[in-house]
């Protein structure tokens, strides 16, 4: 192959002409290979297309024997073509037959060709074909030639993906992954089931014009686009975008670095020089990056490549004028939003009447977006690695937020069965709604107070919808986590006031800041710790930064002026800590009263029992508190020394065990002795069987996720508490690992609705 005399620009122009002609796909491909061979002065040019089953099939060839077309097939990893398909990299050889992967296909008659240059045809980071040129002579292809072939491959990818080939073989499956059904079981973030259609949070940009009319004009467009991109990233970093998290700031920092990276910009320019439009050049370089990303072993580096991918997408949107996110577009009725990740504010931006589910490639259970999804009652799934490569806009999809399952393009049977599930779920919800105004009273006359846990303003409507008695735990840190900077006194006052207003007289228990471990503030530097769950967190931080607690207490007292106010402290480890925290609140109370402010009508101060050391100080502590609340999430984690967020340990120890239930029983008994109310506000309270076990050990007040109120009330109304206690008492001193089976059996035998 003599150096491509005409250059890629001429080739691209000719390709455009061929693409514009009304022609059958096979003829078009035949013309394309002839054109490429002529332009690159090669004796052979062949196109292999990826077929279902990871087979690369020869679809068109200039130079190889005609009869080999549609007959020659290579598995991915087999032969030189298969190797390119597997590794998604170009291969340039002066003597192909010496390569260990070379596989001779007699039907092609290729034995007379020695040199070989092949490149992958990529789309969205996936190999959809391989483009090859061959020459009789043993020659070394230049970098420019390889570059030219890659640019050609990109245009070819457009031809292949634009439906051109569909008429040739129905299931040509340009991207095989994107037509098949898939089933994933990953991380359940928010309960509920939804059937709907995929909406990509960041819609893919479809490039209309691949081939440049004028290269200097495209260079100018690229430069202008990059300028805009840099300004956009700077603006984001300067905090003009609200409600972002620390992690996101880190991502933006990296993105800014990439936006100024000379290497990346040079590669973009080089791609334009080969004859592509600015946007096509971005995609071309993005394809290379994606291929590299897939080969990367190092998790950290892969992450950074992901960030570069984000940046390329931003630039593509600037160049093509495409929308940034789908939230403001015309959404289908049953939208399931799929995204790599998103901030909580971005989720709140969607029309809630249309969004049915959320799937994230990254977000875990404790991510803020997961908290918001739960608050909105939108089924959500996280850690769905690779989902973006499997779906496209409009695909049918099922999200099961109770099991963490995703069904992409489900079969009609599966859709029917899930539609039935949704109906069943809705019916159940209807039944629970009917219970809304019924008392939570056991069969033997014990009233159980049912409350909701909240942490955002969007949670508050659930208080009235669920018929709960009040907010048993208001996690104030969520407001802090979503802010850009430490909320000032006035902002805090406004927030607490709005919560009290929305509660319409029902009691609200505010918990002071519980920061640390998995909850971080973007604007607060926290030292790296070996064991953050056991580290400088929560009330410990408040002890060392008293102004923080005092400011918050003042805000709560002002917000609650003239009303009943309840405040409690998290992560208290001993009596002295409680006293110090209480004194800080009382100091503020005194201060406000002295300065003529209206203080709350009543102020109740409580302690959260989440650290086991308190179990041995209850006689000293309880006389000092107005109420106690068991934070069972933490209490159980510390009792069993078992990280509550570690999926490997999930389910290993059972809160329905003699040890954990014994601890709860002890707290309940001591509270009774000291005439103090005790509530439980961990996740346990929201699950009917667990809640039954808790009622069994004497607990009469619980706070839970709003969706738990109905099912737990249904359980309570079918339960005989005294009978359960008689059943449980001997079991609590048994040496078993768990009482779950026994409790289940009790429920079944006695018609308790679980």
Residues that bind ligand PEP (CB under 6 A): 473, 475, 514, 610, 631-634, 681-682
Q: Which is nearer to ligand PEP, 379 or 631 (CB)?
A: 631
Q: Which is nearer to ligand PEP, 384 or 456 (CB)?
A: 456
Shortest reach from residue 158's CB to ligand PEP, in Å: 50
Shortest reach from residue 263's CB to ligand PEP, in Å: 45
The binder of 526, among ligand PEP, Mg ion, none, by C-beta within 5 to 8 A per type, is none
The binder of 76, among Mg ion, ligand PEP, none, by C-beta within 5 to 8 A per type, is none
Question: What is the bridge-based pairing of β-strands 396-400 and 193-200?
Answer: antiparallel
Give the three-state DSSP class for 404.
coil
The binder of 475, among ligand PEP, Mg ion, none, by C-beta within 5 to 8 A per type, is ligand PEP
Q: Which is nearer to Mg ion, 165 or 515 (CB)?
A: 515
- First vs last C-alpha separation in the chain: 76
- Quote the Cα angle for 522-528-533, to 5°: 90
C-alpha 466/C-alpha 25 separation (Å) is 59
Q: Which is nearer to Mg ion, 683 or 753 (CB)?
A: 683
Give the three-state DSSP class for 332.
coil
Q: Which is nearer to ligand PEP, 600 or 682 (CB)?
A: 682
Structure tokens at 33: 């290979």
* Whether the Cβ atoms of residue 449 and residue 701 lie closer than 8 Å to each other: yes
Q: Which is nearer to ligand PEP, 175 or 634 (CB)?
A: 634
The binder of 402, among Mg ion, ligand PEP, none, by C-beta within 5 to 8 A per type, is none
Shortest reach from residue 643's CB to Mg ion, in Å: 13
CB atoms inside a 10 Å sphere around CB 519: 18
Shortest reach from residue 514's CB to ligand PEP, in Å: 6
C-alpha 514/C-alpha 537 separation (Å) is 7
The burial class, CB within 10 Å (0-12 / 13-18 / 19+), for 583 is: exposed
Q: Which is nearer to ligand PEP, 376 or 481 (CB)?
A: 481
The binder of 62, among Mg ion, ligand PEP, none, by C-beta within 5 to 8 A per type, is none
The binder of 681, among Mg ion, ligand PEP, none, by C-beta within 5 to 8 A per type, is ligand PEP
Give the three-state DSSP class for 490.
helix
Where on the chain is the footprint of Mg ion (CB under 5 A)?
Answer: 610, 631, 634
The binder of 273, among ligand PEP, Mg ion, none, by C-beta within 5 to 8 A per type, is none
Shortest reach from residue 519's CB to ligand PEP, in Å: 8
DSSP state of 70: T
Shortest reach from residue 570's CB to ligand PEP, in Å: 6
The binder of 473, among Mg ion, ligand PEP, none, by C-beta within 5 to 8 A per type, is ligand PEP
The burial class, CB within 10 Å (0-12 / 13-18 / 19+), for 641 is: exposed
* Whether the Cβ atoms of residue 459 and residue 472 lie closer than 8 Å to each other: no
Q: What is the DSSP string of 542-602?
A: HHHSHHHHHHHHHHHHHHTTTSEEEEEESS--SHHHHHHHHHHHHHHHHHHHHTTPPPPSE
Shortest reach from residue 336's CB to Mg ion, in Å: 32
Q: Which is nearer to ligand PEP, 218 or 514 (CB)?
A: 514
Shortest reach from residue 511's CB to Mg ion, in Å: 9
- For Mg ion, the nearest residue by Cβ is 634
Shortest reach from residue 606's CB to ligand PEP, in Å: 13
C-alpha 581/C-alpha 569 separation (Å) is 7
C-alpha 31/C-alpha 701 separation (Å) is 77
Q: Which is nearer to ligand PEP, 158 or 634 (CB)?
A: 634
């Amino acid at each position: 192959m003599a150096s491509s005399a005409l250059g890629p620009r001429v080739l691209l122009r000719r390709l455009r002409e061929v693409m514009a002609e009304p022609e059958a796909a096979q003829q078009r491909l035949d013309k394309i290979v002839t054109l490429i061979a002529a332009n690159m002065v090669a004796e052979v040019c062949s196109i292999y297309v990826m077929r279902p089953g990871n087979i690369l099939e020869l679809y068109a060839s200039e130079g190889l024997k005609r009869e080999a077309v549609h007959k020659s097939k290579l598995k991915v990893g087999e032969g030189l073509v298969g190797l390119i398909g597997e590794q998604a990299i170009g291969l340039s050889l002066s003597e192909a037959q010496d390569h260990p992967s070379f596989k001779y296909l007699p039907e092609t008659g290729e034995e007379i060709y020695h040199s070989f240059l092949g490149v992958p045809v990529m789309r969205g980071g996936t190999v959809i074909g391989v483009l090859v040129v061959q020459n009789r002579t043993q020659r070394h292809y230049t970098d420019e030639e390889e570059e030219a072939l890659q640019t050609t491959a990109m245009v070819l990818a457009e031809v292949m993906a634009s439906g051109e080939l569909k008429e040739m073989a129905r299931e040509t499956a340009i991207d095989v992954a994107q037509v098949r059904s898939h089933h994933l079981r990953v991380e359940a973030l928010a309960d509920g089931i939804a059937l709907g259609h995929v909406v990509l949070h960041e819609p893919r940009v479809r490039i209309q014009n691949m081939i440049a009319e004028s290269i200097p004009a495209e260079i100018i467009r690229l430069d202008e686009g990059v300028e805009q991109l840099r300004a956009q990233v700077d603006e984001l970093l300067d905090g003009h975008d609200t409600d972002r998290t620390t992690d996101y700031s880190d991502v933006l920092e990296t993105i800014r670095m990439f936006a100024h990276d000379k290497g990346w910009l040079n590669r973009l320019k080089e791609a334009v020089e080969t004859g592509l439009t600015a946007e096509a050049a971005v995609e071309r370089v993005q394809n290379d990056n994606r291929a590299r990303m897939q080969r990367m072993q190092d998790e950290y580096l892969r992450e950074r490549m992901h960030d570069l991918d984000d940046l390329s997408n931003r630039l593509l949107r600037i160049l093509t004028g495409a929308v940034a996110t789908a939230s403001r577009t015309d959404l289908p009725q049953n939208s399931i939003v799929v995204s790599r990740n998103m901030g909580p504010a971005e989720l709140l931006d969607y029309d809630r009447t249309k969004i049915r589910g959320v799937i994230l490639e990254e977000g875990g259970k404790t991510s803020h977006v997961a908290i918001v999804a739960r608050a909105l009652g939108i089924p959500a799934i996280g850690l769905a690695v690779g989902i973006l490569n499997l779906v496209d806009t409009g695909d049918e999809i099922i999200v099961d937020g109770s099991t963490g399952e995703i069904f992409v393009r489900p079969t009609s049977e599966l859709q029917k069965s899930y539609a039935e599930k949704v109906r069943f779920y809705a019916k159940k919800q209807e039944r629970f709604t009917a219970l809304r105004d019924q008392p939570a009273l056991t069969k033997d006359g014990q009233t159980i107070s049912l409350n909701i846990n909240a942490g955002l303003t969007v949670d508050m409507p659930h208080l009235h919808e669920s018929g709960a008695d009040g907010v048993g735990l208001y996690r104030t840190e969520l407001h802090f986590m979503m802010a850009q900077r430490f909320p000032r006194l006035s902002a805090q006052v406004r927030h607490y006031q709005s919560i009290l207003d929305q509660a319409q007289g029902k009691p609200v228990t505010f918990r002071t800041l519980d920061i640390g471990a998995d909850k971080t503030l973007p604007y607060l530097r926290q030292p790296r710790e070996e064991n953050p769950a056991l580290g400088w967190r929560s009330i410990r931080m408040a002890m060392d930064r008293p102004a923080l607690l005092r400011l918050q207490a003042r805000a709560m007292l002002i917000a609650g002026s003239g009303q009943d106010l309840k405040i409690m402290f998290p992560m208290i480890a001993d009596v002295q800590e409680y006293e110090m925290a209480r004194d800080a609140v009382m100091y503020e109370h005194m201060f406000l009263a002295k300065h003529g402010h209206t203080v709350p009508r009543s102020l109740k101060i409580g302690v959260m029992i989440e650290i086991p050391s308190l179990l041995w100080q209850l006689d000293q502590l309880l006389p000092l508190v107005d109420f106690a609340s068991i934070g069972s999430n933490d209490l159980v984690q510390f009792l069993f020394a078992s990280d509550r967020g570690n999926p490997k340990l999930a389910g290993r120890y059972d809160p329905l065990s003699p040890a954990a239930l014994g601890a709860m029983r002890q707290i309940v008994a001591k509270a009774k002795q000291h005439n103090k109310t005790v509530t439980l506000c961990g996740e346990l309270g929201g699950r009917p069987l667990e809640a039954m076990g808790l009622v069994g050990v004497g607990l009469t007040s619980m706070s839970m996720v709003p969706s738990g109120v109905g099912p737990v009330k249904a359980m309570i109304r079918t339960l005989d508490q005294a009978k359960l206690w008689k059943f449980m008492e001997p079991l609590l001193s048994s040496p078993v690992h768990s009482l779950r089976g026994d409790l289940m059996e009790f429920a079944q035998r006695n018609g308790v609705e679980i």
